[in-house]
Amino acid sequence: MINSMQATISLSIVEKNGASRNRTIAMTSKSFPGGVEKRLIKFLEPADVRGTAMLIIDNKDVSDEIWIYLPALKRTRRISSSENSRSFMSSEFSNADMGSPTLSDFRSRHLEGSGTNNRWIIESIPADEDKADEYGYSRKVSYVSMDKYQVSKMDFYNFDGEHFKTIEIKEFHPMAEGKHMVSRMLATNLIRGRKSEIVFDNISDNVKVEDSFFTVQNLER
């Protein structure tokens, strides 16, 4: 379990026609008792949103709380908690893609060819229609290396059975206790032709950070 972590995150979204949007944010996260995780995000780039800050309180059993401070408007507002299928910061990543999946939400099995060429090929199908609606896909196929237990690629299929999105894990960052964290991944929406890449830099784990850092008041500082 990583207690706290800091990183600089670059998120770039590139449209089919080449238009792009880039965001650089600094994230600090810390685990709290009761399975609660709190994250404080500060926007660094672009200049017109610099100073914008978000506090995300990831509760285990109740809805998440999200607060955002907008310095130009001098307002702090809560925003509604997101569904798993909803886009992460308007990128091709969903909120579910940003965390670990809940295994019980899926029925999984090995596909043909799994266990050869140093990889497992695992199909995950949402356990029921509600879960399918929640996650926003009908089927996922993950490619996992057998020696490192690391996912290298995930293919997502829509409700027409069409392969609509691929997430490729490009880099892992070594963390404490021999664990690894995804530090670069690329999501490609095959239907919209849009790509989103997220890169974690300057990763430090188990940093010292006060509990009071994760408060609404601190957002506005």
Q: What's the DSSP call for residue 87?
A: B
* 101: contact with another protein by CB under 8 A: no
DSSP 135-198: HT-SEEEEEEETTT--EEEEEEE-TTS-EEEEEEEEEEEE-GGG-EEEEEEEEEETTTTEEEEE
CA distance 68 to 62: 19
Site string for another protein, 148-187 (x = CB under 8 A): ----------xxx-x-x-----------------------
Among 4, 8, 24, 82, binds another protein (CB under 8 A): 82
How do 180-189 and 194-205 pair as beta strands? Answer: antiparallel
Site string for another protein, 113-152 (x = CB under 8 A): --------------------x-------------------
Q: Which stretch binds another protein (CB under 8 A): 78-86, 97-105, 142-150, 168-176?
A: 78-86
CA distance 28 to 4: 7
Binding residues for another protein, how many (CB under 8 A)?
A: 38
Q: Which stretch binds another protein (CB under 8 A): 48-56, 107-115, 177-185, 203-211?
A: 48-56
User: CA dihedral defined by 149, 179, 32, 54, rounded to 10 degrees?
Assistant: -80
Distance from chain centroid for Cα 135: 13
Q: Which is nearer to another protein, 76 or 206 (CB)?
A: 76
Q: Applying CB under 8 A, which residues contact another protein? A: 13, 15, 17, 19-21, 43, 46, 48-49, 52, 54, 66, 68, 70-73, 75-80, 82, 86-87, 89-91, 133, 158-160, 162, 164, 191-192
